[in-house]
C-alpha cells in the first residue's frame, strides 16, 4: 500500500509541477482542473489601450461572415 | 526500484526548477513536508535533495525571466522580522552553539524559500498547485493511517513522515487536522467528480487517522475544528449532521483502550505526561523571564545547563507547547513577532472573505481563506500541547493566505493579469471569418 501511494504521489506532484508552469485559464485536461466561475467584466481603465481597437475588427468580421 | 524511480523523478524536477523556479518551490515543499526520499529504500534516501532543490531554485530565480517582487504585507513583514529576531537570539544563545546554529540555518532556509514562494505565487494555478502539494504530502499519511486504523480495528498507532517535525503520532495528528480544511477547499474547487469523491474519501480516512493516533491534544483540536468547520460551512444543517456523524462514527469505532486514554483528559493532574508538560511550560516561562529580550536560544529548554539556571528540579526536554517553546527559546519580542505572523494571516483571511463577497470569480479565494482560518485554529489549539512552533507547513499556509490577499487586491483594483485564452479561441475566430 505504501508503495502504491508513493507512486501515486510521485505522479501527482510531477503532474502538478508541469501544470503549474502554464498560465491561468483553460488548458488540457488534468485532475487538478479548477471549477471556473464567470469572469466579471474588466474595468475599461484596467484594459490595455489597444485592446478595444484590436477587438473591433474581429467583431465586424464575425458579422460579415453571416454565421 | 522505489529509489530509482524517485531519483529519476527528482532529477527531472530539479532540471525544471532551473527553468521555472516555481517548480523548485513545489519540489522543496514536497521534500520538506513529506520527506518522500526517506520512504524509498536505497541510495535515494541519503541524497541531500532539499539542498539540491534550494540551489536549483536559486539558479532558476536568476535565470528565469519572470517578475518576482516580494509583496510587503503583514505576514511577509513579520516573517522578515522573525528572521532578524532569531538571528539576534541565536547570536546570544545560552544553548550549545552548534545545535542552535544548525536549527537557525534550517529556519533561515525555510523562511527564505517561503518568501520566495510568496513572490512567485502570482496566479490562481500556482496557488492551487502549492495547496495541492501541501495536501498530497500529508494526505499520504492520512490515507495510509486511516486505512491502517480501520483494518487494525483501531488497535495500531500511526506515525508521520520520517525525520520530520511530524514523525511522532501526536504531531502527525495535528498536522492532519491542519490539512483537513485544505483538502475540503480542493474538494470544493475541483472540476472533476472523481477527484471530489477521492478527496472526500481521503478526508474520511484522515479523520480516522487523527482519531487512531491516540493523541489527546488532537482530540481537543478535532473538537475545535469540527465546530469551526460547521460555523464556516454554507449548508449548516447538512454539514452539522455530516461532521457530527463522522466524528461520532470514528470515535465509536475505536476500542476500549482508546476511550480510557481519552478519559484521562479530565484527570490530567494524575497523569505523568500532562504533569510533565505543565512543568516544562513553567520552566520555559522562567527561561523567558530570566532573559526577557532574547530567551535561551534554540534548544535552550532541551539543555541541562540552561534549565539548571532557572529550575534545577525540572527536566531538560521538549516544551510541548508552541507558545511556551517560542517564549522560552527567544523571549518576548520574538514571541510577539511569531504570534504576529498568525494575527496578520488571520486579518488577511478576513480581508479576503470581505473583498470576495459578491464577486463570483473570487469565490475560490473566499473558500481558501475560510478553510485557512479553520487550519489556523487547528494548529493553534493542537499546538498548545506540542512542540511545533517552527512547523514549515503552517508558515507556508500563512504564505499562501498572504499571496491570495495580494491576488484579491490586484483583482479588485483591476491590475491582475488576464488569464491566458483557451487554445482553440485564436484558431476558431479566423476560420469562421474566412467562411
Q: How many other CB atoms are found less than 10 A from the CB of residue B282?
A: 14
Choose among B23, B123, B191: nearest Cβ to A24.
B123
Instruction: For chain B, state the CA radius of gyration.
Output: 23
Phi-psi label, residue A18: left if phi above 0, alpha if psi -120 to 50, beta otherwise: alpha
Are residues A24 and B39, on separate chains, in Cβ contact within 8 Å?
no
Choose among A2, A10, A27: nearest Cβ to B144.
A2
Burial classification of residue B205, based on how many CB atoms lie within 10 Å of its CB (0-12 exposed, 13-18 middle, 19 or more buried) = buried
Choose among A12, A17, A67: nearest Cβ to B23.
A17
Choose among A10, A17, A23: nearest Cβ to B419.
A23
What does the pLDDT read at residue B25? 93
- How far is the alpha carbon of A53 from chain B, nearest alpha carbon, in Å? 16
Per-residue pLDDT band at A29 (split at 50, 70, 90) = confident
d(CA B63, CA B108): 23
Helices (H), B64-192: 74-91, 97-120, 124-151, 169-189
Question: Please, are residues B356 and B408 in contact by the beta-carbon 8 Å criterion?
Answer: yes
The more confidently predicted of residues A55 and B33 is B33
Question: Please, are residues B427 and B164 in contact by the beta-carbon 8 Å criterion?
Answer: no
What does the pLDDT read at residue B217? 83
For residue B95, the 8-state DSSP code is: S
**Which are the contacts of B157, defined by CB distance < 8 A and separation ≥ 6?**
B169, B212, B213, B214
* Closest residue, chain B, to A39 (C-alpha): B361
Are residues A34 and B191, on separate chains, in Cβ contact within 8 Å?
yes
| Chain B partners within 8 Å of A6 (Cβ) | 2, 6, 36, 39-40, 140
What does the pLDDT read at residue B158? 82
Per-residue pLDDT band at A8 (split at 50, 70, 90) = very high
B78 is written with which cell numbers?
Answer: 513579520
Are residues B361 and A37, on separate chains, in Cβ contact within 8 Å?
yes
Choose among B191, B414, B435: nearest Cβ to A45.
B414
Phi-psi label, residue A36: left if phi above 0, alpha if psi -120 to 50, beta otherwise: beta
Query: Which residues are registered as beta bridge partners of A34?
Result: B190
| Chain A partners within 8 Å of B125 (Cβ) | 19-20, 22-24, 34
Question: Please, are residues B212 and B172 in contact by the beta-carbon 8 Å criterion?
Answer: no
| Chain A partners within 8 Å of B415 (Cβ) | 46
Q: Tell me the angle at which helices B74-91 and B392-413 cross, rounded to the nearest 10 degrees.
A: 150
What does the pLDDT read at residue B399? 96
What does the pLDDT read at residue B186? 95
Query: Which residues are registered as beta bridge partners of B190?
Result: A34
Interface of A with B (CB under 8 A): 1-3, 5-7, 9-10, 12-14, 16-27, 31-40, 42-43, 45-46, 58, 61-62, 64-65, 67
**Which are the contacts of B231, defined by CB distance < 8 A and separation ≥ 6?**
none
d(CA A22, CA A28): 10
| Chain B partners within 8 Å of A15 (Cβ) | none
Are residues A1 and B5, on separate chains, in Cβ contact within 8 Å?
no
* Closest residue, chain A, to B134 (C-alpha): A13
Q: Compute the residue count for chain B.
A: 435
Residue A46 pLDDT exceeds 50? no
The more confidently predicted of residues B109 and A67 is B109
Per-residue pLDDT in tens (0 to 9) along chain B, 435 residues: 788 899 999 999 999 999 899 999 999 999 999 988 888 878 888 889 999 999 999 899 888 877 678 899 999 999 999 999 999 999 999 988 888 999 999 999 999 989 999 999 988 999 999 999 999 999 999 999 999 999 988 777 788 887 788 888 889 999 999 999 999 999 998 989 999 999 999 999 999 999 888 888 888 888 888 888 888 877 788 888 888 888 888 888 887 777 777 877 666 666 667 778 888 999 999 999 999 999 999 999 999 999 998 888 888 888 889 999 999 999 999 999 999 999 999 999 999 999 998 888 899 999 999 999 999 999 999 999 888 899 999 999 999 999 999 999 999 887 776 554 444 333 333 333 333
Going from the C-alpha of B47 to that of each of A12, B50, B64, B163, B213, the distances in angstroms are 22, 9, 26, 14, 30
What does the pLDDT read at residue A43? 41
Are residues A61 and B433, on separate chains, in Cβ contact within 8 Å?
yes
Residue A48 pLDDT exceeds 70? no
What does the pLDDT read at residue B423? 41
What does the pLDDT read at residue B430? 37
Choose among A20, A31, A36: nearest Cβ to B22.
A20
Give backbone dihedrals phi and psi of B8, rounded to 5 degrees, phi first. Answer: -65, -45
Count residue pairs from A and B with Cβ separation < 8 A: 137
Helices (H), B254-391: 256-263, 272-290, 304-308, 322-355, 363-383
Q: Compute the residue count for chain A.
A: 67
Q: How many other CB atoms are found less than 10 A from the CB of residue A4?
A: 9
Give the closest residue to B159 by CA, choosing from B181, B138, B180.
B138
Phi-psi label, residue A25: left if phi above 0, alpha if psi -120 to 50, beta otherwise: left
**Which are the contacts of B428, defined by CB distance < 8 A and separation ≥ 6?**
none
The more confidently predicted of residues B177 and A40 is B177
Amino acid at each position: 500500500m505504501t508503495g502504491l501511494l508513493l507512486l501515486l504521489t510521485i505522479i501527482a506532484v510531477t503532474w502538478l509541477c508541469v501544470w503549474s508552469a502554464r498560465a491561468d485559464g483553460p488548458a488540457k485536461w488534468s485532475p487538478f482542473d479548477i471549477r471556473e466561475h464567470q469572469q466579471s467584466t474588466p474595468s475599461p481603465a484596467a484594459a490595455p489601450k489597444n485592446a478595444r481597437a484590436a477587438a473591433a475588427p474581429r467583431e465586424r468580421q464575425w458579422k460579415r461572415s453571416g454565421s | 526500484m522505489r529509489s530509482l524511480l524517485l531519483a529519476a523523478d527528482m532529477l527531472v524536477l530539479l532540471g525544471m526548477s532551473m527553468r521555472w523556479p516555481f517548480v523548485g518551490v513545489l519540489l522543496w515543499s514536497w521534500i520538506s513536508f513529506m520527506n518522500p526520499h526517506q520512504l524509498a529504500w536505497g541510495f535515494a534516501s541519503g541524497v541531500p535533495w532539499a539542498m539540491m532543490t534550494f540551489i536549483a531554485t536559486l539558479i532558476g530565480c536568476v535565470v528565469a525571466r519572470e517578475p518576482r517582487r516580494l509583496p510587503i504585507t503583514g505576514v511577509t513583514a513579520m516573517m522578515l522580522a522573525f528572521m532578524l529576531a532569531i538571528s539576534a537570539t541565536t547570536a546570544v544563545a545560552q544553548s550549545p552553539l552548534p545545535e542552535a546554529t544548525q536549527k537557525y540555518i534550517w529556519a533561515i532556509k525555510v523562511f527564505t524559500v517561503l518568501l520566495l514562494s510568496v513572490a512567485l505565487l502570482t496566479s490562481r494555478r500556482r496557488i492551487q498547485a502549492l495547496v495541492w502539494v501541501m495536501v498530497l504530502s500529508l494526505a499520504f499519511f492520512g490515507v495510509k493511517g486511516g486505512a491502517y486504523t480501520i483494518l487494525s480495528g483501531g488497535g495500531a498507532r500511526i506515525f508521520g513522515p520520517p525525520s520530520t517535525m511530524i514523525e511522532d503520532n501526536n504531531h502527525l495528528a495535528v498536522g492532519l487536522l491542519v490539512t483537513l480544511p485544505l483538502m475540503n477547499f480542493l474538494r470544493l474547487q475541483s472540476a472533476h467528480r472523481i477527484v471530489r469523491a477521492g478527496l472526500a474519501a481521503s478526508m474520511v480516512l484522515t479523520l480516522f487517522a487523527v482519531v487512531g493516533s491516540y493523541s489527546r491534544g488532537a482530540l481537543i483540536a478535532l473538537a475545535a475544528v469540527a465546530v469551526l468547520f460547521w460555523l464556516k460551512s454554507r449548508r449548516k444543517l447538512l454539514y452539522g449532521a455530516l461532521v457530527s456523524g463522522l466524528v461520532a462514527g470514528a470515535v465509536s469505532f475505536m476500542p476500549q483502550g482508546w476511550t480510557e486514554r481519552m478519559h484521562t483528559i479530565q484527570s490530567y493532574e494524575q497523569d505523568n505526561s500532562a504533569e510533565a508538560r505543565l512543568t516544562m511550560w513553567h520552566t520555559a516561562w522562567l527561561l523567558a523571564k530570566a532573559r526577557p529580550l532574547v530567551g535561551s536560544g534554540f534548544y535552550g529548554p532541551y539543555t541541562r545547563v540552561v534549565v539548571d539556571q532557572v529550575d534545577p528540579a525540572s527536566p531538560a526536554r521538549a516544551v510541548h507547547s508552541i507558545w511556551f517553546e517560542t517564549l522560552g527559546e527567544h523571549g518576548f519580542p520574538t514571541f510577539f513577532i511569531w504570534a504576529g505572523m498568525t494575527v496578520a494571516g488571520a486579518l488577511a483571511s478576513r480581508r479576503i472573505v470581505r473583498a470576495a463577497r459578491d464577486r463570483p470569480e473570487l469565490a475560490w479565494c473566499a473558500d481558501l481563506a475560510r478553510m485557512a482560518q479553520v487550519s489556523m485554529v487547528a494548529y493553534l489549539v493542537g499546538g498548545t500541547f506540542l512542540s511545533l512552533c517552527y512547523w514549515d507547513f503552517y508558515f507556508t499556509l500563512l504564505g499562501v493566505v498572504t499571496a491570495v490577499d495580494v491576488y484579491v487586491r490586484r483583482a479588485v483594483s483591476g491590475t491582475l493579469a488576464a488569464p491566458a485564452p483557451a487554445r482553440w479561441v485564436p484558431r476558431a475566430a479566423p476560420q469562421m471569418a474566412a467562411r
